[in-house]
A and B are shown apart, each in its own frame.
Chain A
Amino acid sequence: MSSETIKPSIWAFANPTRFMGFANKAIPVLVIITFLLLAVGLWLSFIAPEDYQQGYTVLIMFIHVPAAWLAMMTYSVMSISAIGTIVWRHPLADVSLRSAAPLGAMFTILALATGSLWGKPMWGTWWEWDARMTSVLVLLIIYLGLIALSKAFDEPSEAALPLAVMTLTGFAIIPIIKFSVDWWNTLHQPASVSRLDKPAMGPEFLYPLLIMALAYMAIFFTLHMMAMRNEILNRRIRTMKMSAARKQSVTIPNEGAT
């Protein structure tokens, strides 16, 4: 029982085995839903008419806006997981937080990249240091910092609480960054973002956008569940290797370190 006493936080509280069973059943369903939503969303996007102001570049909106929403949603999922870690010390919450971080970083990068590709033809610039873009860039830095933190500990279970505390601290600052939009705009005044938000969207654009957002959400939940499954397997392998090493070190003490 030695590994149980050394690492009680991993296996004692939750039931990752049950989660694995659920995930194995749920993932195929999620994959099908994702592809269906994507197909419908893309079809609706491509039959959408040309916007009188933006031309065909509205097509970028259908992948840019969902990516930006998902960048925020992923952080919310991570924050909820962080609460799970802090309050209940639930290991699955840590697994969830850790597997969501790279996905969040990916969506943030996509939002920035597609936004940049949209900004060039519309506003004539790849990048503008306005509040919206800068705050999303800060979000990306926070994601990358959290990923770095999750990899910095030798013992993964030790990283759980630091990660959770840091994630929640980051969340407390995100609304503040968001509110700064108004303040900062008075200094820099880029007409860009407000022009982008203002047009009351017609249904011919709104429906494809919403379906694409749902499709992106489905992508996130599918990949998140798959990544969580990987992370649980990772920890099992780790535990097994450690117990194997311990057994070896009992029989052949000198080779215990290898």
Chain B
Amino acid sequence: MFGEHAGFIIPSYIISFCAISGMAIFIMAQYKSRKQELKRLEEAGVKRRASND
């Protein structure tokens, strides 16, 4: 397809795609786990601001 340099063009697109989508997936997974953690803590009865001691 991309002439004689396809071996350089395609990897550079693959690398960029993998890095950016990897970063996005990581951030989304982190968001999910943070949300769960927050929920778990709230269900355990921890208040966000420690005004109760």
Contacts and interface: CB of A to CB of B under 8 A. Distances in A.
Asked whether the complex places CB atoms of A and B closer than 8 A, the reply is yes
Interface of A: 1-4, 11, 50, 55-57, 59-60, 63-64, 67, 102-103, 106, 109-110, 113-114, 117-118, 120-121, 219, 222-223, 226-227, 229-230, 233-234, 236-237, 239-244, 246-247, 250
Main secondary structure of the interface of A (DSSP, over half): helix
A59 B14 CA distance: 13
B20 to A, nearest CB: 6
A237 B37 CA distance: 7
A135 B3 CA distance: 32
Interface string B1-36: 011111011011101100110011001101100110
28 contacts: A2-B50, A2-B53, A3-B49, A3-B50, A56-B6, A57-B8, A59-B13, A60-B8, A60-B9, A102-B23, A113-B12, A117-B11, A117-B15, A118-B12, A121-B4, A222-B24, A226-B28, A226-B31, A230-B31, A230-B34, A237-B37, A239-B50, A240-B38, A240-B47, A241-B41, A243-B47, A243-B49, A250-B53
B48 A239 contact: yes
Main secondary structure of the interface of B (DSSP, over half): helix
Interface residues of B, number: 35
B46 A244 contact: yes
Contacts of A229: 31
